[in-house]
Structure 1
Amino acid sequence: MTVSRTRRARAARRRTRRMKAVEHDLTDVQWLALRAAWGGCAYCGAADHALQRDCVLPISRGGRYTLANVVPACGRCNASKCNAEVTAWLRRHRLDEKRFLTRHLEVLMAMTKGTG
């Protein structure tokens, strides 16, 4: 039991260090717009669950909370993906990789259209 707590504490400290090491610039307004644009989980499409911010490129792999890197995910998909590379994870779970990547690009283009 103590080993498990120690590992969790160590992982929490690592995550805190990673989070502080990069600049996160996703605003609450952008997050609400992302959730509305996707209309549910970006991966499985579930619309009847609470959505969480998921980094397409995980923080542990150099990602950060930005408009281009965050998608809404249900708790199940977010926990399952963990820090996996998104396309490999989609393939492993037999989810439509092409649909996700196309939709991700469409949402980003629509949201950044007026800011460039």
Structure 2
Amino acid sequence: MAKVLVLNASYEPLNITSWRRAVVLLIKGKAERVEHNGKHLYADFPLPTVIRLRHYVRVPYKEIPLTRRNILHRDSHTCQYCGYTGDDLTLDHVVPRSRGGGDAWENIVTACVRCNVKKGNRTPVEAHMYLHHLPRKPYSSLYFEVSKHLKSGLHDEWQKYIIGL
């Protein structure tokens, strides 16, 4: 069945859990139902899609690793210069490494081989190639998991609790 978005007492997203775990939290009184999709577990017990914990939980900050897979996911497996989507995508440094550009979320984008070669050792402005979306660091470690569910269209009600997607 469905997944459930768990919010902290402050309405910030904490994680995604199974509907069974969410129901247990509701029955024990540790959480309250915020959203449901109209499906019912019992006659008067709607199946939750978003729950909020009643007490605040401190969560340590978790750094999102800068990996090829994460960058491809952030950029939706699309060339940020021409919009191509396919298998032969590369990573491109917006400011080339030879010009002082480093490995950072704000300096690496997904590019097709053709655009990467065309841009070469230049900045996008010098190459007259402009980015569809400016590269940025994802807001949270939950970003990738939630964005998959939002793109599938199954959990549109989660959108109002997620910043930056």
What TM-score, normalized to structure 2?
A: 0.41
**Secondary structure of 1:85 counterpart:** coil
What TM-score, normalized to structure 1?
A: 0.56
Give the alignment's Cα RMSD to 1 decimal: 2.1
Q: Which amino acid aligns with 1:104?
A: L
Residue 50 (structure 1) aligns with: 88
Deviation at 1:61, TM superposition (A): 0.7
2:117 aligns with one of 69, 79, 85 = 79
Deviation at 1:78, TM superposition (A): 0.6
Q: Does 1:32 align with 2:58?
A: no
Q: Which amino acid aligns with 1:34?
A: I
How many residues were matched structurally?
76
Structure number with greater Rg is 2
Residue 9 (structure 1) aligns with: none
Moved over 4 A (4+): none
* Structure 2 Cα separation of the partners of residues 33 and 27 of structure 1: 7
**Secondary structure of 2:126 counterpart:** helix
- Structure that is richer in strand per residue: 2
What CA deviation, in whole Å up to 9, does each residue of 1:18-57 have, x standing for no partner? xxxxxxxx632xx322212222111111002411111000
Work out which structure has the larger RCO, using CA pairs closer than 8 Å and 6 or more positions apart in sequence: 1
Q: Which amino acid aligns with 1:86?
A: P
- Structure that is richer in helix per residue: 1
